[in-house]
Amino acid sequence: MNDVQILMPAPMPAAVIAALDARFTLHRLWEQPDADVFLAEHGPHMRGLAANTLAGPVGPALFDRLPVLEIVANFGVGYDNIDAGAAAARGITVTNTPGVLDAEVADLAIGLLLATIRRLPQADRYVRDGKWVDAPFPLSPTLRDRTVGILGLGAIGRQIARRLEGFDVAIAYHQRTPRDDVSYAYHDSPVALAAACDVLIAIVPGGDGTRHLVDGAVLAALGRDGILVNVARGSVVDQPALIDALRDGTILAAGLDVYADEPHVPDDLRAMENVVLLPHLGSASEHTRAAMGRLVVDNLVSWFDRGTALTPVPETA
């Protein structure tokens, strides 16, 4: 298959690059002195695309320059960086990396929730700054007697819920339709879910359909003792509304792993003591990123070996 040409617009883990180099003719677009000149000359020969969020938008503008493109293998379970509808219209298959990162993101969500509610980063700084010798760290809020709402009970959402069961908290959820395989309380809108709980964990896919799903009305319904944890996409939360809610005491605190314009985090958020900020760590362990990379490679190999993708997204399945 070395005569099959694959384009990689932005860097991926070294193991992914090495595996693709061994099976295909891999072109590293970020190493080209002039990407436009390179695409004009070589784009018509690219049959596969290995993409990630660092590559920027993948849609009609790029597809026009890759007229024989057959498959886009995305490094990540979320693929809101890819116009899957436009790909489907052109007969291009899009794949992602579901399953292999579910447990890691769920673990991170629980850790972020505990860090936020018990103010663990703030306590760490308190010790490092030598303040403990002068006075005990202030008492924190608690997870006890709370209801946790999960916005999006997909594969990762269910893993988060299973972990929460061990904390003896009430669990509720919202998604487009109720599930018949869980006993958690279902609410028919994000506002209704927020009103019924005092912790809200967002874990829905990104994209236009979920943009600002958590808005000012949802935050107001969550209430003054409420905590928001976002491990979904930054676009899911109306970030200016969240800043206002945190500043005004509309909600108590937030734990954020994702932002509207990554890696840029607003100064207002960075200055707040009632926010825990992570640099998009959801799947960022060596084990999980390696598994994601293998699935990217396996999708491309399967496609060009057998004409089938392992994990096509619904729009192009």
- As for how many domains the chain has, the answer is 2
Could you tell me if residue 257 is inside a domain? yes
One domain for residues 124 and 85: no
- Each of the 317 residues of the chain gets a pLDDT tens digit; together they read 679 999 999 999 999 999 999 999 999 999 999 999 999 999 999 999 999 988 789 999 999 999 999 999 999 999 999 999 999 999 999 999 999 999 999 999 999 999 999 999 999 999 999 999 999 999 999 999 999 999 999 999 999 999 999 999 999 999 999 999 999 999 999 999 999 999 999 999 999 999 999 999 999 999 999 999 999 999 999 999 999 999 999 999 999 999 999 999 999 999 999 999 999 999 999 999 999 999 999 999 999 999 999 999 999 98
- Catalytic position from the list 47, 146, 233, 289: 233
Is 31 known to be catalytic? no
**Stated pTM of the model:** 0.92
One domain for residues 224 and 142: yes
Whichever domain contains 302, its CATH number is 3.40.50.720
Which value, to the nearest 10 degrees, does the dihedral of the CA atoms of residues 258, 261, 264, 269 take? -60
Is 27 known to be catalytic? no
Q: How high is the pLDDT of residue 55?
A: 79
One domain for residues 119 and 223: yes
Could you tell me if residue 282 is inside a domain? no
One domain for residues 87 and 140: no
One domain for residues 121 and 244: yes
Could you tell me if residue 96 is inside a domain? yes
Could you tell me if residue 16 is inside a domain? yes
One domain for residues 272 and 125: yes
- Catalytic position from the list 90, 163, 179, 280: 280
One domain for residues 88 and 168: no
Q: How high is the pLDDT of residue 56?
A: 85
One domain for residues 201 and 256: yes
One domain for residues 74 and 161: no
What's the rounded Cα separation, in Å, for the pair 226 and 193?
Answer: 12
137 Ramachandran zone, left/alpha/beta (phi>0; psi -120 to 50):
beta
What's the rounded Cα separation, in Å, for the pair 77 and 92?
Answer: 18
One domain for residues 67 and 197: no
Two tokens, residue 165: 């069961």
One domain for residues 273 and 294: no
Structural domain for 24, as ranges: 5-100+287-316
Q: How high is the pLDDT of residue 54?
A: 80
Could you tell me if residue 249 is inside a domain? yes
Amino acid identity, residue 98? P
Is 262 known to be catalytic? yes
What's the rounded Cα separation, in Å, for the pair 2 and 10?
Answer: 20
- Catalytic position from the list 31, 41, 165, 262: 262
